[in-house]
A and B are shown apart, each in its own frame.
Chain A
Amino acid sequence: MSNYSDILYLTVAMVVFSILTINTARSFQFTADTLVRADLEYRATAIAQDEIDQIRWETDENKLDPEHDDYLFDSYPQNQAITYGNENEYSETFKVNGKSTLIENTSSMKRYKVTITTTSNSIDPKVEVSLEFIKSYMQE
């Protein structure tokens, strides 16, 4: 009878050990996933900042007016393939989307809120970064 109890003890010990190892492995997997996501977010933010840096110097107000034919974001979303490395050996594709909203329209000023959203589908769930920028134009 003691043989059976030994087997029972061993089985319980193995089950407990398995649960612990699975939980530990899951915890490390989660940490690795977080680190990869942080890396992707870092690069996605840089791309969104690039877009906003370009828009800061946009002198043509029509480009930010959603009602106008020259609206800049009509051609968005765009896929941007970013290459890195000595010989551009690494590549990553981000989807860049943008929109502009007129938030103030007075006799002296027009203000637009520009939102740039960068998405990476390299990981599930996808990584998404949104940056907002307010651009003002003086009315003559």
Chain B
Amino acid sequence: MNVGIVTSFIVAGLMILSIMAFNHSIYTSSAETTITTINQNNLDNLTEIISNDMNRIGYKTGSSDNFNHIYSQDVEFQGDIYDNDSHAVTTVRWYLDTSDSVSTTTNSNDVYLKRTGPTSDGSISTLKYPVTHFELKYFAGDGTETTNTINVKSIQVEVVMESGEYHTTRSDGKKQYHRTVWKRTFVPNNLNF
């Protein structure tokens, strides 16, 4: 047996193994980066629409009671949501439809957060956003939580969003999804005059 050839094979084998491990590491990092960026962009888009809607609650309604109902995962309110559309005051509803799971992703936790109301193209329709958690809390002027629509002065919105696809699989077989969260308390002008 030629010692030189055997040594060469061992060295080459180690090199190939290290290159394969490095390649796997690059692939995983790349996938994680891409998935994280997509997830953050999705959350950013969603929070922009929520912020627009929440800040316009009661805008141009001329009413002191601008909510049709307030629940922890479902809110319906009135306001002039866009300035340049053909609609004046419209009703907007944000709700978590736990019966409607997202079937197009591998993530089993995501369900649709739905928004029914006016959209930028001038129509009234329902938009759907995959999230894993959505929670609303309503506060009165003194900072206490309230369930009375007349008393609501501020609204806390919490959204947890996970990526639709996993970026790594743990040694126990569990798939790892990127998770990002957002929590804000809105104090809409028209609820506080």
Contacts and interface: CB of A to CB of B under 8 A. Distances in A.
Contacts of A69: none
Q: A-side binding surface: helix, strand, loop or mixed?
A: helix
Interface string B171-193: 00000000011111111000010
B68 interface: no
A32 B29 contact: yes
Using C-beta atoms within 8 Å of the partner chain, give the interface range for chain B: 20 to 34
Nearest to B192: A57
A84 B158 contact: yes
A32 B133 contact: no
Contact of A39 (B11, B25, B180): B180
B61 interface: no
A39 B40 contact: yes
Contacts, number: 57
B169 interface: no
A25 B43 CA distance: 28
Interface residues of A, number: 26
A49 B50 CA distance: 14
Interface stretch (B31-39, B75-83, B99-107, B112-120): B31-39
Interface of A: 3, 10, 14, 21, 24-25, 28, 31-32, 35, 38-39, 42-43, 46, 49-50, 53-54, 56-57, 82, 84-86, 90
Given A53-B187, A85-B181, 12 more contacts: A3-B4, A14-B15, A24-B26, A28-B33, A32-B32, A35-B37, A49-B184, A50-B184, A53-B186, A57-B187, A84-B160, A84-B181
Interface of B: 4, 11, 15, 22, 25-26, 29-30, 32-33, 36-37, 40, 43-44, 133, 154, 158, 160, 180-187, 192
